[in-house]
Amino acid sequence: MSSNVMVWNVRGLGGEGRQNIIRKIIKDNNISVCGLVETHLGEGKVLERAGRINNRWNWVCNSEVCENWVRIVVGWDPRKVCVDILGIEEQVIHCRIKSFLDGENFLCSFVYGHATMNPRRALWRNLIDYSGNARDKPWVAMGDFNAILHLNEKSSVQRGTNYGMEEFKECVAEANIMDIAKTGFHFTWNQKPGSSDGIMEKLDRVMGNEKFLNDFPSGCAKFLPFYTSDHSPAILVFSGGKKFDPKPFKFWNFLASKPEFKPIVKEVWDKSFVGHNMFKVVCKLKELKKPLRKLNRQQGNLNEKVERLRSEVERIQSEIACQPDNEDLRLEEVVYVKAFKEALLDQEYLLKQKSRENWLKVGDQNTKYFHQVVKHKQVRNHVGQIRDLEGNIYEGKAVGDAFV
């Protein structure tokens, strides 16, 4: 994406000062889509006030499903993005965002959960149901969920969990979404701004599904200061879109079981290099990278390979059930079952190595779990922003230069 997305619980949209702050945040952070919640305004006024923020933008709200004031209003710059509204509910607006500049698109849900638990359950059900349609599409849900996931997301520590937290956890697990990498404020809600005895909590978040994390690996959530609200604005920042930096060489353990592996290593290790013994070892290891990369590419996509072989085994065994005396089918079954078992084992070793989970029991091939562990590690290890000793802030690809 060539521009960013914001959501903010503004705690009232009527004041001109609040509108000026929103306008400045949009300008300073290259925002092309903006979700504002808790407007404290009715339908007639909310669109008029939103137009004051930027009268060139398109604005929609969920007034038709709200009893009193409008809970959510969404605006976008039609010169930069195309936004299709896919669903409007009291606690969420679902849409599709597509950039005109690079053509990239994803699903986005702007959320404002009820402050009390019972009506908030309708939001959890809606997100779970919507996740089924979004499974094969990049999807992000962002906004004020009015619930925490972990005890460390509340400044005043209390023992045990509560039902609201547990139900939110169940929703996140069933919807198969997770927090994307984030910078800025940890606590996003201040109960008593300007007071020392107020509780602070992380009620606002930006969460994506696995497809979103794959398609937008550089996506990062930035939580700004509260300004005049009691909530922190959340910005979904795109730095580099789908472009990947060159990956360093990584040796996958499952390659050692391939018959080609030892001959490749022997051929390189038999080569002569001049210099200190340690230097020779380093030269040989570098020389191994190219043939091992080639061997890895020859294995293809392991997940696709497993599914393809699974289909072949199912087909052959179905035919054998109809022709039990067919020797050709029996021989073909042996070949495919052997290849299927090897592919499953390779996939298991690969996921185990990526996730670094050592307690995997023999035969327990819970690949969905390991995919989740890998994604969580990638999100946790991502550094979206860094401040140097002189106070300069670096984001995106500049982070690596700042570290150096």
Q: What total number of domains does the chain contain?
A: 2
Task: Please say if the pLDDT value at position 371 is more than 70.
Answer: no
Task: Please say if the pLDDT value at position 384 is more than 90.
Answer: no
pLDDT digits (tens, 9 = 90+) for 20-54: 999 999 999 999 999 999 999 988 899 999 999 99
Task: Please say if the pLDDT value at position 158 is more than 60.
Answer: no
Which segment of 191-195, 233-237, 346-350 scores lowest on mean pLDDT? Answer: 191-195
| Residue 213, helix vs strand vs coil | helix
Considering the domain architecture, whether residues 63 and 195 belong to the same structural domain is answered as yes
pTM recorded for the entire structure: 0.67
Whether residue 33 contacts residue 83, with contact meaning beta carbons closer than 8 Å, is answered with yes
Q: Model confidence at 157, in pLDDT bands (50, 70, 90)?
A: low
Considering the domain architecture, whether residues 217 and 267 belong to the same structural domain is answered as no
Considering the domain architecture, whether residues 223 and 282 belong to the same structural domain is answered as no
**Residue 145 within any structural domain of the chain:** yes
Long-range contacts of 258-262 (CB under 8 A, 24+ apart): 258/295, 258/299, 260/295, 261/295
Considering the domain architecture, whether residues 150 and 274 belong to the same structural domain is answered as no
**Residue 403 within any structural domain of the chain:** no
**Residue 375 within any structural domain of the chain:** no
Token pair, residue 367, equals 């690949």
Task: Please say if the pLDDT value at position 346 is more than 60.
Answer: yes
Pick the last residue of a domain from 171, 203, 237. Answer: 237
Considering the domain architecture, whether residues 30 and 150 belong to the same structural domain is answered as yes
Of 300, 335, 296, 333, the C-alpha closest to 317 is 333
Token pair, residue 393, equals 């802030």
Task: Please say if the pLDDT value at position 388 is more than 80.
Answer: yes
Which residues span the domain enclosing 198? Answer: 4-237
Considering the domain architecture, whether residues 213 and 264 belong to the same structural domain is answered as no
**Residue 308 within any structural domain of the chain:** yes
Considering the domain architecture, whether residues 48 and 194 belong to the same structural domain is answered as yes
Considering the domain architecture, whether residues 48 and 160 belong to the same structural domain is answered as yes
Considering the domain architecture, whether residues 233 and 259 belong to the same structural domain is answered as no
Considering the domain architecture, whether residues 95 and 219 belong to the same structural domain is answered as yes
**Residue 202 within any structural domain of the chain:** yes
**Residue 60 within any structural domain of the chain:** yes
**Residue 312 within any structural domain of the chain:** yes
Whether residue 107 contacts residue 140, with contact meaning beta carbons closer than 8 Å, is answered with yes
C-alpha 71/C-alpha 175 separation (Å) is 23
Rounded alpha-carbon distances, angstroms, from residue 223 to 98, 188, 189, 208, 237: 23, 7, 11, 16, 10
Considering the domain architecture, whether residues 57 and 151 belong to the same structural domain is answered as yes
Q: What is the pLDDT of residue 102?
A: 85
Alpha-helix runs per DSSP H in 216-270 = 261-269
Q: What angle do CA 361, 365, 370 make, to 5 degrees?
A: 95
Strand spans (E) along 100-156: 105-112, 139-144
pLDDT digits (tens, 9 = 90+) for 86-137: 999 999 999 999 999 888 999 999 999 999 999 999 999 999 999 998 988 9
CATH number for the domain spanning 108: value is: 3.60.10.10
Considering the domain architecture, whether residues 212 and 260 belong to the same structural domain is answered as no
pLDDT digits (tens, 9 = 90+) for 47-75: 999 999 999 999 999 999 998 899 999 99
**Residue 379 within any structural domain of the chain:** no
C-alpha 267/C-alpha 8 separation (Å) is 60
